[in-house]
Amino acid sequence: MQHSYSKLIHPLGQKFPATVVFPISGFARSLLNTLKPVLISLSLVIALIGPLAMAPQVLAEGDADTQDDAVDSRRSPLPTELDQMIALDEALNSDEVVWQGEDDQRFLSLFRPAIRPIQMAIILLPDSPDKISKNNLMRQLYFDLPERGWSTMSIILPPVVIDTPAPKIFLPRATKLNSTSADTADENSSSSSTPSAESSDSDEPIEEDEDNDNPLDKAANQRIEISSRFLRDKGARSVTYIAENNSAHRALNASINNKDSTSGLVLWRVDLNHLPIERLKTLVESRITLLDIADQTMTPKQKAARKRHFQMAGFTDDYRLIQVPVEAAGIPYASRRIRQWLETEFTR
């Protein structure tokens, strides 16, 4: 029987038998079908093992990046307060900048002398460094007061750490079980004759003395005392402090500690929780004249409560409350009222 050949031609010129091609193709196809499950399983194993094999390298690269970030953070620490004051000095570029203190206790202040100074000077106590240069009441007073004869110094105080107090829990008064009416009467009579925190001051918060162990407040007191000596060396016989909300407690401390050289204190929009009654009582003993400036949005009830707060501390004729607009117009208005108060209360 003769073989039939395909029309495919071998490169050497020979013809391939058609019966040889198809058996080889069928064998390859059957081999692929047999090995397909094995190949699929092998590909799955490779897909699972591949990421696990790369994990140590990825972790090593992550640790290296973390170490690099840590090195970068060590190389670029946050600017210190002294660094910020140096930057502020460069930004102000003013001949009125005065550096006081020594070594790492140095601090920046601005001093603007009056052309014809009188015997009292002013110390401004802004509660943040940026207020020494930006438009606000402290900046306005720094330029206005020297024009009327009061040499003025504005100083940067250490930052204030504001602690959120824990909420007060008021528990009901405990009562005796199986108590007789006589026992109840004796208990009521003793409670009415003996003052207690709950009965005598039921409508007023219990005030505590200021914590003088705060190192930032101690540094602030030191800066204020250094500035007071600076002004006395310039010829001032006394000073008046002008403080705002977060610097009010430091102004109270300075007024009490330096009562012999302090004439007055101005409080600019200060919350009552920064003015403990016990500290105000001590301030009254120092015979300091006080000007209290609040917003016009204060209701009559709030105004009466604020006056009562100072009256309970013992302030009478040495205390004055004024209200100013909340808008930007309140700044020049407050500056004018402060100048009028200074001229009225103190001899020039």
Judge if 157 and 18 occupy the same domain: no
Kindly give the pairing relationship between strand 97-100 and strand 107-112: antiparallel
| pTM of the complete model | 0.67
> How confident is the model over 112-128, as pLDDT tens digits?
999 999 999 999 999 99
Asked if residue 258 is part of any domain, the answer here is yes
Outline where DSSP puts E strands in 214-343. 238-244, 262-268, 289-295, 319-324
92 Cβ neighbours under 8 A, 6+ residues apart: 110, 133
Q: How confident is the model at residue 224 (pLDDT cuts 50, 70, 90)?
A: very high
Characterize the bridge pairing of strands 319-324 and 289-295: parallel
H or E segment and range at residue 9: strand 5-9
Q: Do 267 and 316 reside in the same domain of the chain?
A: yes
Whether the CB-CB separation of 256 and 282 falls below 8 Å is answered with yes
SS3 of residue 348 by DSSP:
coil
CA distances from 154 to 3, 209, 341 (A): 116, 27, 20
Instruction: Give counts: helices (H), strands (E), the chain.
Output: 9, 10
Query: Which 3 state secondary structure label does DSSP give 134?
Result: coil
Residue 2 falls within a domain, yes or no?
no
Position with higher pLDDT, 31 vs 113: 113
Q: For residue 277, how far is the Cα from the chain centroid?
A: 25
Whether 91 and 214 share a structural domain: yes
Domain of 323, in residue numbers = 81-161+209-345
Task: Dig out the tokens for 250 from the structure.
Answer: 């430091």
What mean pLDDT is reported for the chain? 78
Residue 336 lies in a domain: yes
User: What total number of domains does the chain contain?
Assistant: 2
Q: Is there a single domain that holds both residue 104 and residue 242?
A: yes
Mean pLDDT value across residues 288-295: 96
Report the CATH number at residue 328: 3.40.50.1820
Predicted confidence at residue 147, as pLDDT, reads: 95
Model pLDDT for residues 34-55, shown as the tens digit of each residue = 766 666 666 665 666 665 555 5
Two tokens, residue 51: 């990421």
